[in-house]
Amino acid sequence: MAGRRICAGYYRRYDGKVVYVVSLATDTDTGEEAVIWTTYPFADLPRYWTSSKKSFCAFVGVDGERKVKYKRLTNMKISEAAVERLEDEGFRGPVRKNQTRQMDEEYDSRKYQQSLSYLAYAKDLCENYNFDRSKYHLCVKEKRLAAITRSDFAKLKEDLQFLDNAMKTVLAEYRDYFQERFVEGLSIRKYAVAHQLNRGSVDYLQKKFFSALALLLKERDEAEGKCRLRKPVQN
């Protein structure tokens, strides 16, 4: 597997953790290729790690089963905001292929209600809103579960309805921002230019919005006596 081609994109580690591969680099001392990656969801203060390509492409044993250490998540698409951040950090964004995203080719690699914090949960709902909405409408239109399990469809529907209702009521003050950033897909930079704001002002607005949505998600769970976050792995 050392000769395996590694492209920029999302990968799921054998333990369920999702990472984003930014690029490859060559160690000047050993000549060995290294994979540069960062965690997902993206942290407010970005940090980057490297793994040797040999290690990244290795197999591991899990419960007696041989699995690849990192598996490519071909259905996860990086947002324009994330691309902009990478470029600001000095990395090149991914090369876009002019092709339609096929949701019905295989079961979607996206996991629902698997965030480790309510803030990450809020970011996840917003950044995947268009894809989730398209998938929901596809299932409803075709009257079948298209590339999604029954359990995940229930979570998808529940979260979409909650977010849509929140934007019409409690979070109405952020409705236009949400529409432009996460429905129309404007990057932070383009939103700032369109509204004649500086980048810092838009970053602050986004933090306020994500925090307000995170609080609503937490209050929903507390009111219903359940937790929709992913439980940490017990050692």
**pLDDT above 90 for 173:** yes
Q: Domain total for the chain? A: 2
Beta strands 49-52 and 65-68, pairing class:
unpaired
Cβ atoms of 50 and 36 within 8 Å: the answer is yes
d(CA 55, CA 27): 14
User: Residues 55-112: pLDDT tens digits?
Assistant: 999 999 988 899 999 999 887 878 777 787 787 777 876 665 544 444 444 445 678 9
The span from the CA of 46 to the CA of 33, in Å, is 22
Domain containing 15 equals 8-101
Counting every residue written for the chain, the total comes to 235
* CATH number, position 29: 2.30.30.320
Q: How many CB atoms lie within 10 A of CB 155?
A: 17
**What backbone phi and psi angles, to 5 degrees, belong to 54?**
-60, -45
Which two three-digit tokens encode residue 169? 């009521």
Q: What is the mean pLDDT of the chain?
A: 87
CA 94, 99, 100, 105 dihedral sign is negative
- Of 85, 101, 117, the one marking the end of a domain is 101
Residues 89 and 116 both lie in one domain: no
Do 158 and 97 reside in the same domain of the chain?
A: no
Task: Check residue 42 and give its pLDDT.
Answer: 79
Indicate the DSSP class of residue 29: T
Query: What does each C-alpha distance from 195 to 68, 190, 202 come to in angstroms?
Result: 46, 9, 9
Is residue 198 very low, low, confident or very high in pLDDT (cuts 50, 70, 90)? very high
| One domain for residues 176 and 71 | no
